[in-house]
């Protein structure tokens, strides 16, 4: 997947996409992130990228020209463009999964009080919000999306089984996890996880996921119950326990 990130703060992006799983994906040629500094496209001698809003009001607005030219420089006409903005569509699993099927994506990160509306009118980006709060800019939001999308690209996660397992429980919050040692400061790992009985272990995990989801995220739980899932007899029994 080829990703262009258009930003006024290119130094924010590199360290994040160079680290951890994203870094590995980049090294393996699965993911390529091209960071574009919008300031490089200014045509004024002070390299100014913003100006005061027409009609007055607080703050500054990002000017159309450098953003237009930065978008043209990455051939954004032919790519899916995402504009990170608190007024956008709320990010969710569906959008992430949808984006992970794309070959090319462009992220436009705004700053200040907003960007000249003609950028939106002309380029028709999809506006995406990562939540109902205001960040100082779209960079962190873009990195959230890139991270979540990248791990859905086959072979990025490394361990294919992790995906499979996630899909069984997808829509549910994850069950508790433990690693060595078996006893830490007197606290023991649940016995079933040490049993080697894969069926019992699976059922335990499923039950825990149901329990935690129902308790903490009733919205996700209701959605999960509505989905027509292919569950076996014992899984159905567990589900039944948590139905009201």
Footprint on this chain of ligand ADE (rule: CB under 6 A) = 84-86, 129-131, 133-135, 138, 141
- Per the structure block, which two tokens stand in for 105? 């994506």
* CB 138, min distance to ligand ADE, A: 4
Q: Provide the token pair at 188.
A: 């023991």
Residues 6+ away with beta carbon under 8 Å from 129: 84, 85, 86, 87, 88, 89, 90, 91, 141
Nearest residue to ligand ADE on Cβ basis = 141
In sequence order, the 6+-apart residues with CB closer than 8 A to the CB of 228 are none
CB 85, min distance to ligand ADE, A: 5
Judged by beta carbon, residue 132 or residue 185, the one nearer ligand ADE is: 132
Q: Which is nearer to ligand ADE, 135 or 156 (CB)?
A: 135
Nearest approach in angstroms of CB 197 to ligand ADE is: 44
If the CB atoms of residues 37 and 85 are measured against ligand ADE, the closer one turns out to be 85
Residues 34, 38, 44, 45, CA torsion sign: negative
How many CA atoms, within 13 angstroms, populate the side-chain half-sphere of residue 111? 15
Q: Which is nearer to ligand ADE, 107 or 169 (CB)?
A: 107
Q: Could you tell me the CA-to-CA distances from 160 to 10, 173, 213 in Å, in that order? A: 32, 19, 24
Provide, rounded to whole angstroms, the least separation between the CB of residue 91 and ligand ADE.
8
CB of 8: closest distance to ligand ADE in angstroms? 13
- Residue located via tokens 């978008």: 71
Phi, psi (deg, nearest 5) at residue 90: -70, 130
Cβ closer to ligand ADE: 30 or 60?
A: 60
Smallest gap from residue 137 Cβ to ligand ADE (A): 6
| Cβ distance to ligand ADE smaller for residue 85 or 213 | 85
Token code pair at residue 122? 């002309």
């Amino acid at each position: 997947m080829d990703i262009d990130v258009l930003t006024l703060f290119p130094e924010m992006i590199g360290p994040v996409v160079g680290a951890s799983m994203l870094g590995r994906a980049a090294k393996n040629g699965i993911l390529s992130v091209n960071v574009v500094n919008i300031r490089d496209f200014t045509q004024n001698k002070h390299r100014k990228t913003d100006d005061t809003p027409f009609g007055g009001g607080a703050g500054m607005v990002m000017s159309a020209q450098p953003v237009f030219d930065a978008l043209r420089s990455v051939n954004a006409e032919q790519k899916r463009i995402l504009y990170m903005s608190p007024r956008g569509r709320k990010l969710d699993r569906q959008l992430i999964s949808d984006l992970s099927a794309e070959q090319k994506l462009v992220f436009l990160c705004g700053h200040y009080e907003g960007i000249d509306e003609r950028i939106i009118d002309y380029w028709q980006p999809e506006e995406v919000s990562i939540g109902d709060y205001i960040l100082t800019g779209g960079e962190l939001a873009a990195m959230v999306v890139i991270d979540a999308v990248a791990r859905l690209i086959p072979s990025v996660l490394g361990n294919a089984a992790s995906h499979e397992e996630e899909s069984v429980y997808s829509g549910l919050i994850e069950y508790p996890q433990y690693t060595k040692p078996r006893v830490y400061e007197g606290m023991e790992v649940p016995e079933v996880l040490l049993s080697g009985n894969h069926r019992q272990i699976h059922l335990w995990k499923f039950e825990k996921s149901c329990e935690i989801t129902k308790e903490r995220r009733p919205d996700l739980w209701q959605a999960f119950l509505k989905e027509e899932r292919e569950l076996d007899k014992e899984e159905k029994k567990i589900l039944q326990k948590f139905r009201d």
